[in-house]
Amino acid sequence: MHYLLRKSLIPALAIAAIAGSGLSHADTQASNSAATPQSLGWLEEGVIMPEDLTVKFKLDSGALTSSMHAEDIERFEKDGEDWVRFRVELEDINSEKTVASTFERPLVRNLKVRGAGGSEERPVVNMDVCIAGSALNQEFSLRDRSNMHYPVLLGRSTLDELGMIDTSRTYTTKPDCSSKQA
């Protein structure tokens, strides 16, 4: 008797609860899709702002902190604060032209990175970027990535704001942030 009660009564109560709530199956699906975060590929186009420089961004869940290609990294003091000056020289994938820009940013922190070749300390600064229609101001460690395939790597701290990664896909969206600011 207990088995029959559980098999018939519980589904009947669930149906009654849904019917009594005024929600239809379509309403439930619509609310589920609205709450579902977007899915991005493991490789996407992104923009370094405000220079409007479009480059390849690798979405890397194995890294915590994002990283950006930088050359001629120089630490200096400005108004009693630690700052970093660096040059970004990359090929814009839209125009296929090399764009070089020099940036000056306050030093947010230093990041100690350990690897097989030893350890190094990298400066971390805030940078404005655009990916998948989201304008973000995020922390990036600076490093010469000229020998890497991807000049910008987005780590988990940034990925938390973007959504899911589908590792079987690439270039799922365009980085349109023309009406947004980070």
CB atoms within 10 A of CB 30: 12
Residues 15 and 63 in one domain: no
- Residue 178 within a domain: no
Residue 141, pLDDT score: 97
Radius of gyration in angstroms for the set of CA atoms belonging to the chain, rounded to a whole number: 23
Q: Please state the pTM of the whole predicted model.
A: 0.76
Residues 30 and 66 in one domain: no
Give burial (CB, 10 Å; 0-12/13-18/19+) of 31. exposed
- Residue 176 within a domain: no
Residues 30 and 45 in one domain: no
Contacts of 56 by beta carbon, 8 Å cutoff, 6+ apart: 43, 44, 45, 46, 93, 149, 150, 151, 152
- Residue 13 within a domain: yes
Residues 45 and 111 in one domain: yes
Residues 13 and 79 in one domain: no
For every one of its 182 residues, what pLDDT tens digit does the chain have, with 9 covering 90 and above?
444 444 444 444 444 444 444 444 344 333 333 445 578 999 999 999 999 999 999 999 999 999 999 999 999 999 999 999 999 999 999 999 999 999 999 999 999 988 788 888 999 999 999 999 999 999 999 999 999 999 999 999 999 988 899 999 999 999 888 755 55
- Print the domain residue range for 22: 2-35
Residues 81 and 66 in one domain: yes
Among residues 99, 116, 110, 154, the alpha carbon closest in space to that of 132 is found at: 154
Query: Could you give the number of structural domains in the chain?
Result: 2
We report the CATH number of the domain holding residue 92 as: 2.40.70.10
Residues 136 and 158 in one domain: yes
